[in-house]
Structures are given as C-alpha cells and as structure tokens.
Structure 1
Amino acid sequence: MRYHLNEGQFDIPDDGRIDRSMNVLAMPDGSGTTLIVSRDALQAQETLEQFVTRQMRDLTRQVSQLKEVSRGGVAIGSPIRELRGIELVTQFRQNGQALYQRQAVCQLSPASRNVLILTASSAIPFDAEALAIWQRALASFQPRT
C-alpha cells in the first residue's frame, strides 16, 4: 500500500494495518486553539454513531468530568465533495487542566471503514475567533482522490 503524508509517501505492507496516525497543529507557545487530525477505523459491522459512542466511552476512562455538550450532524467540505459526519462538543479535565473540544467524525467513503476525526481543542471556551477557525477548517476540507 502506498502511504501518503504531507512530507511524502512510502510503501508499507497491505496486511490490514489501521492508520491511527495523528497530526497536531499548535501555536508555538501553546496558546490558542490546537487543531488535530487523527484517523481510526470502524470495527466490523459498526456504524459511525456506534463508533462515536464507543470512543466517548473510552474517553470517559481516560479523563475526568467529561461532559458531552452536544452531538449532531455536520457537513465537512464543499457541497460538491461534501462528507457527512457527526460533530461532538465536549469539555473535560485532563491532568488537572480544563479542555474544550469540538470534533467532526466522518467516514472517508461509504465503502471504507476508515474514519477521519478533526478536532479543535482549547484550554478556554471557544470564542467567535476559535469557532470561525473551526468552521473554516471544516468547510475547506478536500478529500484526496
């Protein structure tokens, strides 16, 4: 399988490996909103909604005071190549620090088990600027063909 990343590509065995890589785009001083791109895969016969529920259950074991603020449908990308997914808004404490997150979870194609998770994370509640960054990231996404 040819594996692509920003810096290039390489060949790896096509033996059922699941891409669980993560890209973290943060400000040098740690301030502001951090954008995270991560990948996973649906389990056999699992729906996207079941995947999100399973991930939330796992997160409950890893952080404290997890609060799911909202969960609903979201469009990712332009109307021409739009992906439909689930948006989660959560807040929790990790290592004693409050974190506020917005996540958009989608399947890259109906025929694929591959899941893409876009996350915006901040130590302070999202203000208008942070929400605008999030909306721009979602609207501008273009899946690789």
Structure 2
Amino acid sequence: MGTAVVRLQGTPPRLPGLHRLRAPLNCRTPMRYHIQEGHFDLPDDGRIDRSMNVLAMPDGSGVTFIVSRDALRAHETLAQFVERQMNDLKRQVSQLQETSRNPIGVGPAMRSLAAIEIATRFRQNGQALHQRQAAFQLPDGRAVLILTASSPEPFGESELALWQRTLASFQPRD
C-alpha cells in the first residue's frame, strides 16, 4: 500500500510523520552542527562531540586518517588529556610502544595551535599498526581535536611529509 500525499490549497505537501521532524528543539538557541556534507540544528544542552571521521583508501592500503573529537574534563590540561587517552589505549591494544611525544604547532605558522604529537606502534586484533597522533585544543578552550595517521607499515619519508603537510594545513572555523 502506498503513502498518499495530501495537498490542501495554499499549504506545502505534508508527508506522514513529518511533523515529528519539525518539532521545536528543547532549547533557546540550537547548535549548528557542521559536517562535510552540510549542517544540522541540534540541542545546545551540554552535549560533547565525540564523533569520528575515517578517511581511508578504498583498498585499505596506505595511510588512513582519522579525525576524532572530545573535550577536556574540568580543570584538565591538554597534557593530562593525552595521558588519560594513552592509558585508555593501553587497555585496548597489545604491545603498545610510545616512540615519541613532543609539543608541536598545528596550522599555519602565524596562527599555529599548540598540540602534542605522539608516535606509537602496537597490535590490535592481531595486526601491527603504526600511528602518529596530534591532539590540540580548539580556540573555544574545551574542545579537543585529535588527528591520527595510521598505517600497517612504518612511516617512511613520504608518509611523514604527508603528515606534516596535513598538520600545517589545518584551519579552524571562524
């Protein structure tokens, strides 16, 4: 059985159930949540964006980029956040080796954001992984963006150059 669309003169078409989508948000000012494809208005009621974007080659080869989001806890520094995340990672993977941890700048030189870069290697689900991660606070103060480059192979010169170019290219939204 099909769905009928009823149009009354002077009113736009109305689909069954559409009124539920148009219900007002339970807040005074909705948050405009942007994604690559567009944006949504969502309740601005203290939610923390913990979304992830995974950008991988179709055949699974090469470096996979992962952008993830989180927020600092009350009175937490970026260094404490990174340490907490590393402790979580230790519980999720085996043979974790942190090969470096350094303060870096992300973005163009004149507008660089302070970040912490970590290089690790570990095994997950039996597969060896090599990662570079940069965690940095966004200008709003609490939001943290984590950029990860992950590969089953160690990073060579071209992968490290790609990583550096990617970090240097970051532009926060105004």
**Counterpart in 2 of 1:21?**
51
Aligned: 1:51 with 2:51: no
What secondary structure is seen at the aligned counterpart in 1 of 2:163?
Answer: helix
Select the structure of larger CA radius of gyration.
Answer: 2
Letter in 2 for 1:87: E
Q: Percent identity?
A: 69
The C-alpha deviation readout for 1:73-127, integer Å capped at 9, x for no partner, is: 1110001221111000000000000000000000002x52100000000000001
Letter in 2 for 1:102: R
Aligned: 1:135 with 2:169: no
What secondary structure is seen at the aligned counterpart in 2 of 1:10?
Answer: strand
CA distance in 1, matches of 2:101, 2:117: 6
Correspondent of 1:118 among 147, 150, 168 = 147
Unaligned runs of 5+ in 1: none
What secondary structure is seen at the aligned counterpart in 2 of 1:144?
Answer: coil
**Counterpart in 2 of 1:85?**
115
Letter in 1 for 2:142: R
The C-alpha deviation readout for 1:34-88, integer Å capped at 9, x for no partner, is: 0111100001110000000000000000000111111011110001221111000
Correspondent of 2:61 among 24, 27, 31 = 31
What secondary structure is seen at the aligned counterpart in 1 of 2:81?
Answer: helix
Cα-Cα RMSD: 0.7
| 1:133 Cα deviation after fit | 0.9
**Counterpart in 1 of 2:41?**
11
Higher relative contact order structure (alpha carbons within 8 Å, sequence separation ≥ 6): 1
CA distance in 2, matches of 1:20, 1:97: 25
Q: Runs of 4+ in structure 1 displaced over 6 angstroms?
A: none
CA distance in 1, matches of 2:45, 2:109: 34
TM-score, structure 1 normalization: 0.97
CA distance in 1, matches of 2:83, 2:169: 27
Which is richer in strand? 1
Unaligned runs of 5+ in 2: 1-30
